[in-house]
Amino acid sequence: MTGLFKDLLLLFIIILIHEWGHYSMARFFKWRIRRIVLLPFGGMAEVDEHGNRPFKEDFLVVLFGPLQHVWMIAIGYALHSTDLWSAHFFDNFLAFNFMILLFNLLPIWPLDGGKLLFLLFAYLRPFKKAHLTILTFSLLLLSSLLLFSMIMDKFHLNLIVISLFLLFSIFTEWRHHYYVFIRFLLERLEKEGPTLKRKKTISVYPNDQIEAVLHAYQKDVHHTVALKNSLANVEKDEHVFLDAFFNQKKVGATVQQIFRVE
């Protein structure tokens, strides 16, 4: 309708190649891929993984999207230098590539930059807290950028549409936060934890509930649980608490009760 069919087609091809980067790396690591969603300003590769893949895999899957722009820009320069592409087409190609690349590297969920920042948070702190932290940070940063745009009188229609999409994504992820956390724990229950290289002991009080222990679980870390102020040096594997919470339905049980039962 706007007469920009070629530009829109070029934009979607660039977005498709960007998402193909995520898809190809996810397939390489044998991730369960649900679907690829293409949008006018980006896309999303939805996978059926819940936070228990190694950091290396997560990092490469996220990074392989932005990396596609490197070789696309290089090819663009090569074709332009041989006069196979017109100056107008090359300028649009370059602008679209940088626009998609820089936009996706913003540290806002669910963009690639936001997912990379989440991996950093998840490496340093428990999964549940890291998930809430990236959502809070994304909301604050997005709000700050919108306020800055309004002050600078650069609040355009495109910015409104993209901002609404990001706000909706953050809000939806926030609403599903507990569900995401439970899926993370359920997947851990099915995995062989002791094969993880990183180890950590969680020290808890006898009257703490099981859920308090689970809130301390970190991505890519195998945990043992120890009682504070206990004369006996007894530790329990993380799967004992996962099994008690999900299989035995001891949701309200205390840590001390689990130690006694076991």
Give me the active site residues, please: 19
- Three-class HEC string of 194-214: HHCCEEEEEEECCCCEHHHHH
For every residue of 74-126, DSSP letters joined together read: HHHHHHHHTTSS-HHHHHHHHHHHHHHHHHHTSS-TTSHHHHHHHHHHHHHS-
Peptide bond into 110 cis (omega under 30): yes
Supply the DSSP symbol for 41: T
- The rounded distance, in Å, linking the Cα atoms of 40 and 213 is 43
The widest CA-to-CA distance across the chain, in whole angstroms, is: 79
Strands 198-204 and 221-227, by their bridges, are: parallel
- The rounded distance, in Å, linking the Cα atoms of 176 and 169 is 11
Q: How many Cβ atoms are within 10 Å of 253's Cβ, its own excluded?
A: 17
Q: Are 48 and 32 in contact (CB under 8 A)?
A: yes
Any bridge partners for residue 181, and if so which?
none
- The rounded distance, in Å, linking the Cα atoms of 234 and 192 is 21
Which tokens in the block code for residue 219? 């991505």
Measured N-to-C along each axis, helices 177-190 and 127-151 cross at an angle, to the nearest 10 degrees, of 150
